[in-house]
Structure 1
Amino acid sequence: MTAPTFATGERGAEGATARRGRAGRPDAPPRRPRALGRRLQRPGAWFALPAAALLALFFAYPLVTSLWQSFFATSGGVSTWVGLEQYARLFEDPLIGKSLVNAGIILVVQVPLMIGLALGLAYLLNQSWLRFRSGFRLLTFLPAVTTLVAYAVVFRVMLSTDGGAVNQVLGLFGAQPIDWLNNEWWARVAVIAAITWRWTGYNMVIILAGLQSIPGELYEAARIDGAGRWQIFTRIVIPQLRPVLIFTTVTSTIGALQLFDENYILTEGGPNDATLTPVLYLYKVGFRQFDFGYASAIAWLLVVLTAVIAFIQFRLMREKP
């Protein structure tokens, strides 16, 4: 009776040892759950396929096509290869230089003004003692949800020389009417004011989110050490908001370089091309003169300038080690 039982147990032990040995060998075949995991990941690729197709159709294809088209010139409906001739025209076109100067003026004046206002409003609307904070935040953000064309038309009516609301208010204080949209200096002021009105609330919400992520312990520790409001703002708030300020500054810079709707509706680039921007000039060259090769070259010039300026801003504003 004991011998058969011993043999059976021995064979069972040997089988278990063999199974453990096969499972522990480095050349053992992959386990089924891993293959099952790979099969379960395949539906993710199918779900991402529509987005990838749309990205290729509406981003990658136009990008490559515009680069290819910038090497051609069209005359009489016939496209001819001209190489870098379209890019050489950029250095001889005075309107390119003027549009870049106009964009630079807007960038240097409007972006710091808007970011400063957004930072001040966000800091104010983050104070616990302020009543109706949610309502004030909503009112500040509302301009960002208005359509570009609608608010630009409203600004054009308000800034009208004859009967405009702004000149009527100035007249109450005895000031003379200002020709907002037909004077080179005031046209730039009008465009900057319109952009600042619309996008300040948008940047304020982003900065406000950054303020709310700052731990309250930092404020308490600073007050215990005797720091005042200004010291807390400069030594704690600004350093903690550095990534947010970099983001808002870079995105606002890109928006200033790509400005089109406001100056097109308010002034159409005038007077005397004082509000002409590279994108508006690109539109006129491409869709009024139908010189799509040169328009593509302008577009790629703008892409390079935007990338360079954004890179410089990242380098200048990056967090110190």
Structure 2
Amino acid sequence: MSIRRKSVLTGWSFVLLSVVLIFIFYFYPMIQALIMSFQTGTGSNLEFTGLDNYKRLFSDAMFFTAVKNTFIYLLVQVPIMIVLALFISVLLNDKKLKFKGFFRTAIFLPCVTSLVAYAIVFKYLFAGNGLVNTFLLNLHLIDTPIGWITDPFWAKITIVIAITWRWTGYNMIFYLSALQNIDNSIYEAAKIDGASAVRQFFGITIPLLKPIILFTSITSTIGTLQLFDEVMNITKGGPGNSTLTISQYIYNLSFKYSADFGYAATVSYSIVIMIILLSFLQFKVAGDKNA
């Protein structure tokens, strides 16, 4: 056996188990879900109906409601979170700042909390007689309690606040790591040339963080399109489906309504298509030549 062939076989022996497991638990379910999206029926009694499920999408008012709500979260929450994470990372990268370790840990901690646990905490905090309304009333900022969960507009705001609280620290870590890899001599040269801190931020920091900003934008977009836990545990999609997301609609189709797994799989693949299109668009906007 040649040395080259032996090295190839040795390499495959290390990764073969992982490849098999990834295929079984990732790719096989994806293929099965794609096949199922062309089937219809209740429970496991499915039969092939071609593109009927995909045609049904375009006349499904509930689906469009879920898409509209999800894109509201996407267009409002993701930019706020990205900007906030970038701003915090710049502050925490300051060498003069004391207790940096404490602040970094405190801001990142929400990312490691249980999704269900923190969502339930937010539900009680923003209840009609919750801590948030009590605090605002005591400060005389409002006259009557705000319907954070019972009003369609404020319910969306509550979801946005919850998501931002949890995931800002996650994105901050990426920016902080990238900032620490920027050569400090670049900033020193800019200071000598008379560049202000704001000019340095927009002229040096932002361009050098462009790949990380693109990465966090895409991952945040994917995460928002799959948003489920917060909505399910805080508002349950209400009031009146005003906070319903695509993922929660998939759950309802599968387990709450009559079990229509075929159509639920179709809605799932609509998310895949949205992710592909939005990721491609973000690459193009960022000017990535490899997109």
TM-score range, shorter chain: over 0.9
1: distance between equivalents of 2:228 and 2:38? 25
Does the 8 Å contact 2:38/2:52 carry over to 1? yes
Where does residue 166 of structure 1 map in the other structure?
132
Residue 72 (structure 1) shift: 1.1
The equivalent position to 2:272 in structure 1, one of 294, 303, 320, is: 303
2: distance between equivalents of 1:144 and 1:76? 36
Between the aligned residues of both structures, percent identity stands at: 42
Where does residue 101 of structure 1 map in the other structure?
68
The equivalent position to 1:54 in structure 2, one of 13, 18, 21, is: 21
The one-letter code of the counterpart of 1:261 is D
Where does residue 235 of structure 2 map in the other structure?
267
Is 1:318–2:264 an aligned residue pair? no
Residue 318 (structure 1) shift: 2.8
Does the 8 Å contact 2:77/2:160 carry over to 1? yes
Where does residue 167 of structure 2 map in the other structure?
199
The one-letter code of the counterpart of 1:297 is T
Does the 8 Å contact 1:260/1:279 carry over to 2? yes
Residue 38 (structure 1) shift: 2.5
Residue 179 (structure 1) shift: 1.4
Is 1:139–2:106 an aligned residue pair? yes
Where does residue 230 of structure 1 map in the other structure?
198
The equivalent position to 1:245 in structure 2, one of 209, 213, 218, is: 213
Where does residue 41 of structure 2 map in the other structure?
74
SS at match of 1:127: coil
1: distance between equivalents of 2:47 and 2:194? 73
Q: How do residues 145-164 of structure 1 correspond to structure 2 at under 5 angstroms?
A: 145-162=112-129, 164=130
The one-letter code of the counterpart of 2:175 is I
Where does residue 185 of structure 2 map in the other structure?
217
TM-score (norm 2): 0.95
Gaps in structure 2 of 5+ consecutive residues:
none
Where does residue 23 of structure 1 map in the other structure?
none
Is 1:282–2:250 an aligned residue pair? yes
Residue 287 (structure 1) shift: 1.8
Gaps in structure 1 of 5+ consecutive residues:
1-31
Does the 8 Å contact 1:242/1:319 carry over to 2? no
Residue 78 (structure 1) shift: 2.9
TM-score (norm 1): 0.86
Equivalent residues, number: 286
2: distance between equivalents of 1:79 and 1:194? 38
Residue 80 (structure 1) shift: 1.9
Where does residue 55 of structure 2 map in the other structure?
88
SS at match of 1:318: coil
Let me know the Cα RMSD of the aligned residues: 1.4
By relative contact order (CA 8 Å, sep 6+), the higher-ranking structure is: 2
The equivalent position to 1:186 in structure 2, one of 154, 158, 170, is: 154
Larger Rg: 1
